Amino acid sequence: MDCNRRHLLCGLGGLAVGGAVAGLVAPALAAPQAAPAPGERFAQVGGEFGWQPHKLNADECAPVAYEGYWHKGYACGYGAFYGIIGMMGEKFGAPYNQFPFTMLEANKGGISDWGTICGALYGAAAAFALFWGRRERTPMVNELFRWYETTALPIYNPGDAATGFKGALPTGVSDSVLCHISVSKWCYENKIEASSKQRSERCGRLTADVCRKAIEIMNAKIEQGKNYKGTFPIRKAVAGCGECHMTKGNEANWSKGVMDCTPCHSGGKAVADKFKDHP
């Protein structure tokens, strides 16, 4: 019997055996599950927000977040989340090391390059949400997001370990948590193309910065428990605009959200009507 024929028969035999085994196993796997009882549909193993948080060393985790940003191009959301939960997994094992981390890759470029929320911020907020419900988590998110709006970033510098661009990078205050504004403003002010290695490096370093700040907040929350309160005040524009546009019962109560209003509603040249008589 020639070699090719022997391989073919062996392959068919393997398929036959595999099919027989599948025939024995498949019915059990395909058996329909009973419908959940009333009130149990959304029940979750371990309870809601049931994971136990652990303190981490922010300085140790920041370089990991930076490395995660560059890992296979998974970017900011992946890097920030892994810098927190992945590091818990490396130190404490299950359940932290069992998370499907690659789902955070969807946050690249403000969620699949749509330029919405900065992916690093989402990664950190998602990490908070593994441990704390909305009432306790909101002050943590507020602190992180307001810090991001008002801080000149990036701060982190990987030195010789830099992946995209070595050396100092210019810093800038974004005044916004949106990827589109954060990136575009930095690029415009420094005359750096959005598709450049410098811009990618900026976002990688910013990912490390967000991870570091998020861990500082998380550590403070673990220490203070329900007494945790952030230190960054609500932005002046939000407070002022909110008097009319975010006040229950007001006829102009049309707005929802607490991000800084000015980047999109300042009336400046950057937000003028560019669809009319452009440029």
Task: Write phi, then psi, for 81 (nearest 5 degrees).
Answer: -65, -45
CA dist 197 and 200 (Å) reads 5
- 47 phi-psi bin (left φ>0, alpha ψ -120 to 50, beta other): left
Task: Write phi, then psi, for 153 (nearest 5 degrees).
Answer: -125, 155
Buried/exposed code over 39-77 (b: 16+ C-beta within 10 A; e: otherwise): eeeeeeeeeebebebeebebeebbbbbbbbbbbeebbbb
Predicted confidence at residue 12, as pLDDT, reads 40
Predicted confidence at residue 146, as pLDDT, reads 97
CA dist 172 and 230 (Å) reads 23
In terms of Cα–Cα distance, which of 82, 77, 144, 146 is closest to 113?
77
Question: What single letter denotes the amino acid at residue 112?
Answer: S
Q: Are 101 and 78 in contact, with CB atoms under 8 Å apart?
A: yes
pTM (2 d.p.): 0.85
269's tokens: 């040249």
Can you give the pLDDT of all 279 residues of the chain as single tens digits? Answer: 444 444 434 444 444 444 444 444 454 556 677 888 888 888 888 889 989 999 999 999 999 999 999 999 999 999 999 999 999 999 999 999 999 999 999 999 999 999 999 999 999 999 999 999 999 999 999 999 999 999 999 999 999 999 999 999 999 999 999 999 999 999 999 999 999 999 999 999 999 999 999 999 999 999 999 999 989 888 888 888 888 888 988 888 888 888 888 888 877 776 666 777 766
Instruction: Kindly list the domain boundaries of the chain, sorted by start residue.
Output: 58-246
> What DSSP letter does each residue of 137-191 carry, written as one string?
HHHHHHHHHHHHHHS-B-----GGG-SS--S----B--S-SBHHHHHHHHHHHHT
Q: What is the DSSP letter of 117?
A: B
